[in-house]
Each structure stands twice: as structure tokens, then as C-alpha cells.
Amino acid sequence: MKAALELIGKYILLMKMVFSRPEKARIFWKQFFIDAERLVLDSIPIVAVISIFIGGVIVIQTAYNIENPFIPKMYVGYMARESLVLEFCSTMIALILAGKVGSNISSEIGSMRITEQIDAMEMMGINSSSYLILPKLAATSLFNPLLMLMSFMLGLVGGGLIVIITGVVTFYDYTTGLQYAFRGYYIFYSMVKMSIFSFIITSVSAFYGYYASGGSLGVGKSSTKAIVVSSVSILVANLIITQLMLN
Amino acid sequence: MIRTVNLSKKFGDLNVLNNISIDFKPGNCSLIIGASGSGKTVLLKSIVGLHEPDEGEVWYNDSLYNQLDFKKKKEIRKEIGMLFQGGALFDFATVEENVMFPMNFFTQWSREEKLERVNFCLKRVNLINANKLYPNEISGGMQKRVGIARAIALNPKYLFCDEPNSGLDPTTAILIDQLIYEITKEYNITTIVNTHDMNSVMEIGDQVGFIHKGHLVWEGDKNNILSSDNKELNNFVFASNMAKRMRDMMSEHKQ
Ligand SMILES: Nc1ncnc2c1ncn2[C@@H]1O[C@H](COP(=O)(O)OP(=O)(O)O)[C@@H](O)[C@H]1O
Ligand SMILES: [Mg+2]
């Protein structure tokens, strides 16, 4: 318990350092675009593939679960849309990004720590935590919500493809369902979630990397920890945000 | 001029540095020698502020460095160049970008001006035609040269080198030592070099401090090292059988 509190305190102090005394704006923006490309753009393929497949699977599962003839067939489209926007495209995708992006960030920063590259920056008088972490935080928190939107649309497309291929329901029923009782607020809710999850992934992974020690073995360990801790934090945050925003 | 007064540093229960008081003069290559694990790196990092000392003072001229706020510390840090044991080159950047890195942060120079300075520094360390290579594409000796070039990029007043010739073959090691020595004299830098290499001591040591288990047990001129009667220092200096044989031969010769 004491150890956990200490860890949280250390994390908060690091975040304070990240947001104080940022380096020159020009240097920040340059790094921001590099990070946006590496952390967000490069995640598009995996997110796209997963979203299309999951959209398809949700449609099949919903269709076979609605056996009651009194429930209209368009419910398949409706259900697909709701599960995609409410949970899948934010929480599930965030958990996948925690693995992909989180391990990338923590191992990169961790190896800079153990090879004294971070010390070298500090020695020059550079705020290394701000230089290394702030652009990554900004890039992922700003752009990952767009990744969530893309995932949502591709999930619907995946569902549509399955409808066309298998004919579980008619395409007309499916698209009618997609438009049924549509609430734009859910999309907003999901984008907010994604932004917060991204902040968690990036900051937690950067934290474990920044304080890595014990050679390359230590870097490996800290990236495993980064993934576990950010995944659990995402689940907890999901609960809290949902309670706050959908109540 | 750098001065430490009663500098102490602990890690948990381990007293790594005990009451170290020592002066380093401008234009001098001061060597800190001692066995592995004796506390050389921790001393260096405490002097530059990468470790917070538990007790004692670190002075840079008239500034009590370890008590300064971040902003004032930063001003002094801009005047410090440091060569790390493993080179600590940024592996995301080319040789050229590594040397340019501090300039991007702390100067308003144009790209041409920066390139000119980069090439000057690289030439000074005898490294040409490597500008576009990445650290993992060059040899250990070249990495040290880039490290030195980066350390002198902004004309430092102070230069810190942690085991500059570890991992290098003897010939390259001597070249790197000499480079550090020449640069020190050329720009009147206050240079502190950590080493466990007696060759370095004899080549470039203007002033020598010997650390044993976190205590500064001997300090003086390199010419007095061989004749010192300090037991720990003797054990360190004459660690190898060859050195012992030579010492015995020399004393026989005298008799
Ligand atoms: N960050 C640290 N945490 C705990 N112990 C450390 C740390 N850095 C160094 N030490 C310990 O301090 C002692 C001196 O280390 P160091 O200064 O690296 O020796 P060297 O003279 O070889 O450079 C060693 O016993 C080392 O284990
Ligand atoms: Mg050392």
C-alpha cells in the first residue's frame, strides 16, 4: 500500500515536471509531428483490421441471438452500432494500443535512461521529461480520438460486409438499424474516453520507461509493467468516466 | 574553479561518498582515480547535479551550485560539457544532429551557423566524413569522439569525462586522452576525468585524486604517485604483476 502510494506520488511529480518549463515551441512541434506519425498514424493498419473483423463478428453474433420474431431485424444494425461506439472502439482499441504503443514508448524511453541519454539531456540543461514525454502525450491524446472515429466507421463497414456476404439480415434492415435512435453524444463520449485512455497509456508507459533501471532486462520488465498498469488503469477509468458521462 | 566541501552521498544504507573535499583548477586536467565501484561516477554526477548530494557543498566559482534553483543551475549547466562512459549519444540522431542538439536548444543560430560549428567541433576531434552516420554505425572510438565534439559544442568552461577510454584499444585510448588534454589547455577548461587507467594518469594527469571506497585517501601530483606510501594507493597503482615487477626492479636498481 505504501509502495503504491509512493509510486503514484512519483508519477504525479513526473507529470508536474512534464508540464512545467516546456522547451522551445519549435522543438516541441517538430517532435509532436514525429510522434504523431509514429504513435498514431502507424497504428492505423492494426486498428483498421481489428475494427472490420470485430464489426463483422458483432453482426453475426447479434443476428443469431435475436431469434424472437417479434424483435425487428433492424436491431442487428442498431446493436452493432451501439456496442461499437460505446465500448469496442474506445476501450478495446485502447487496450490494444496499450500493448502496441505503450511498450514502444516505455522501451524507447527506458533504453535512453539506461544508456545515460536522459542524463546527457539533463546535463545540457534540457528538461528531458518535457522534451521526451509532452509531445507524445499531446499527439496521442489529440489524435487517438480520430483513430476511434475511424475504428467506428470501419466497424460498421465490416458489419455491412458480413450482412452482404452472409445475408443474415437484409442490407436495408442493417442500415435502417444503424440510423435508429442515433445519439451524437455517444460519439462525443467515446472520443473523450479515447483521449483520456491515450493520456493514461502514454503517461504510464513513459513513467515506467523514464525510471527504468537494471540494464536491458530492466527495460523489458518496465515495459511489461507499463502494459499491465495502463491496461488496468484504462478499465478503472472506463468505469468512472461511464458513470460520470452516461448517468 | 570547482570545489567540493565535505560532499557525502548515500544510496539507502550504502555510504558511497564520504566527506569529499577537493578543488579543480581551470586549465587543469584533474583525474579522479580508483577501483571499479569506488564511487567515481557518483562523485562526478554529484558535482554536475545528476545526483543530489546528501551533505556538503559544490561550488562553481562563487556559486553554491547544489543550492541554486533550477533556472540558475541551468545557466551553469550550459557551461558544462560531459562525456559519458558509454558515450550516451542519442541513437535517434546522426553524428551531425548529436553535436547540433544542444545548439538547437540554447542558441538562435541559423542552420548554416550551426552546421559550421558542428563541422568545426567534428574536425577538432578528427572525425570527418561521418556526419550522416548513426551512432550504431560507428566504432567505439568514433563514438567517444562524437561525445567529445558534442560536449564542446557550446564552448564549455567545464568538461567532465567518465572513463573516457574504457572499452577502447590502448592506441585509441591514448588518442582520446590526448584529445581531452589538448582541448583543456586550448580553451582553459576546468576538466575532470574519471579513470582507472594508470596510463591516463601518467599521460594527462595535472592533478590526481585517489578514491577508495568513497573516501578521498590521496591527492597530489602524478609524479609523487609512484613513491607514495599510502597502502591503498600502492595496491591500486601496482595492481598488476607487471607493475609490481617493475617497481621491484626499480628499487633494486637504486640500491
Ligand atoms: N543509482 C544508484 N543507486 C544505488 N547504488 C548506486 C547507484 N549508483 C551507484 N551506486 C553504488 O555506488 C557505488 C559506487 O558506484 P560508482 O560511482 O558507479 O563506481 P565507479 O567508481 O566504478 O564509477 C557502487 O557500489 C554502486 O553500486
Ligand atoms: Mg563509473
Enumerate the domain spans of chain A.
24-246
Query: Which residue in chain A has the smallest CA separation from B90?
Result: A117
Domain boundaries, chain B: 1-79+194-255
Q: What average pLDDT does this structure show over B38-57?
A: 94
Does any ligand 1 atom lie closer than 6 A to the CB of residue B34?
yes
Query: Which residue in chain A has the smallest CA separation from B47?
Result: A123
Task: Please give the share of chain B, as a percent, with pLDDT higher than 90.
Answer: 75
Q: How far is CA B93 from the centre of its chain?
A: 23
Cell of B149: 565534439
Cell of A43: 497504428
Q: How far is CA B205 from the centre of its chain?
A: 11
Q: How far is CA B99 from the centre of its chain?
A: 18
B74 interaction partners in chain A (CB closer than 8 Å): 125
The correct CATH number of B1-79+194-255 out of 1.10.10.60, 3.40.50.300, 3.40.50.1820, 1.10.340.30 is: 3.40.50.300
Average pLDDT along chain B: 92
pLDDT for residue B255 = 67
If interface means Cβ-Cβ distance under 8 Å, which residues of chain A face chain B? 21, 23-24, 27, 111-112, 115-117, 119-120, 122-126
Q: Kindly state whether B140 is in contact with chain A, defined as any CB-CB distance less than 8 angstroms.
A: no
Mean pLDDT for each consecutive 10-residue tract of chain A (247 residues)? Answer: 92 94 87 96 96 95 85 90 94 96 96 96 93 97 97 96 92 93 93 98 98 94 96 97 91
* Crossing angle for the helix pair A184-210 and A103-114, to the nearest 10 degrees: 20
Close Cβ partners of A209 (under 8 Å, ≥ 6 residues apart): A105, A106, A107, A108, A109, A110, A112, A113, A219, A222, A223, A226
Does any ligand 1 atom lie closer than 6 A to the CB of residue B41?
yes
> C-alpha angle with apex B208: B205 to B214, nearest 5 degrees?
140
CB B84 within 8 A of CB B167: no
Contacts of the segment B222-227: beta carbons below 8 A, 24+ positions apart? B222/B31, B225/B201
User: How far apart are alpha carbons A242 and A232 in whole angstroms?
Assistant: 16
Q: Cα dist. B163→B44, B63, B91, B192, B195 in Å?
A: 11, 27, 20, 10, 5
Residue B241: count other Cβ atoms within 10 Å of its Cβ.
Answer: 8
Contact A119 B101 (CB under 8 A): no
Q: DSSP strand E in chain B: where?
A: 2-11, 14-24, 29-33, 55-60, 63-64, 80-83, 158-162, 190-195, 207-212, 215-220
Closest CA to A219 of A230, A231, A210: A210
User: How far apart are alpha carbons B57 and B196 in whole angstroms?
Assistant: 25
B-interface mutation test, from A116, A118, A121, A130, most B Cβ less than 10 A away: A116
- Which residue's C-alpha cell is 595535472? B206
Interface of B with A in 57-86 (CB under 8 A): 70, 73-75, 77-78, 80, 82, 84-86
A-interface mutation test, from B45, B100, B105, B134, most A Cβ less than 10 A away: B105
Predicted ipTM?
Answer: 0.89
Of A115, A123, A126, the CB nearest to B80: A123
The pTM of this model reads 0.90
pLDDT single digits (tens) B117-133: 999 999 999 998 999 99
Instruction: For the sheet with B215-220, list strands across it.
Output: B80-83, B158-162, B190-195, B29-33, B207-212, B215-220
Contact B80 A115 (CB under 8 A): no
User: How far apart are alpha carbons B129 and A165 in whole angstroms?
Assistant: 60
User: What are φ and ψ of residue B87, in 5° steps?
Assistant: 95, -45
Ligand 1, residues B15, B36, B41: which to mutate, most atoms within 8 A of Cβ? B41
**Protein residue whose Cα sits closest to atom 12 of ligand 1:** B16
